[in-house]
Amino acid sequence: MPITRVDPRQWHPRATGIAELDRVLGGGLVAGSVTLVGGEPGVGKSTLLLQAAASLASDGARCLYVTGEESAAQVQGRAARIGALVENLWLSTETDVRAVAALLDEVDPDLLIVDSIQTAHDPELSSPPGTVTQVRGCAQVLI
């Protein structure tokens, strides 16, 4: 199809409620898109994503936060400290990507956060978590 016939209304960002994050994302998160947040350890990626999920959940979005980096108690503790304890924010510590895919069917979230994709693994792949093969394979399953 000619580029001039693409309907621009198909691309509509949803604001996260965090002004600077929304600015960097071009207005917010776009349904069906995948966004990779990178940075040095300890700079606040997990906290930022938890805040964004809580903000969207407070606005009625169903959000699923999957962590392989921390325990549920650690994430819940951080959520309590930053005021991110909201009903529509679901939490899982699952690292098996096939189990996460099943959670997607069960929870049917508007937003999925995987923290971090490097801890996810697909038992159908023979390489260890964190390898390029696993990261690529897990991302593909989730997409």
12-66 pLDDT, tens digit per residue, is: 899 999 999 999 999 999 988 899 999 999 999 999 999 999 999 999 999 999 9
**Would you say residue 92 lies in a domain?**
yes
Contact 105, 39 (CB under 8 A): no
**Would you say residue 7 lies in a domain?**
no
115-131 pLDDT, tens digit per residue, is: 999 999 999 999 999 99
The answer on pLDDT for 107 being more than 80 is yes
What CATH number is given to the structural domain containing 100? 3.40.50.300
pLDDT at 84: 97
Band (pLDDT 50/70/90 cuts) for residue 8 is confident
**Would you say residue 119 lies in a domain?**
yes
Q: How far apart, in Å, are the Cα atoms of 91 and each of 26, 102, 103, 111, 114? A: 27, 14, 10, 12, 10
**Would you say residue 122 lies in a domain?**
yes
> How far is it, in rounded angstroms, from Cα 142 to Cα 44?
24
Give the residue among 95, 93, 86 at the shortest CA–CA distance from 53. Answer: 86
The helix (H) or strand (E) run that includes residue 106 is helix 97-107
Contact 24, 37 (CB under 8 A): no
- Residue 20 belongs to domain spanning: 12-29+37-142
**Would you say residue 75 lies in a domain?**
yes
**Would you say residue 112 lies in a domain?**
yes
Total domains, the chain: 1
**Would you say residue 2 lies in a domain?**
no
Provide mean pLDDT across the span 65-78.
Answer: 97
pLDDT at 136: 95
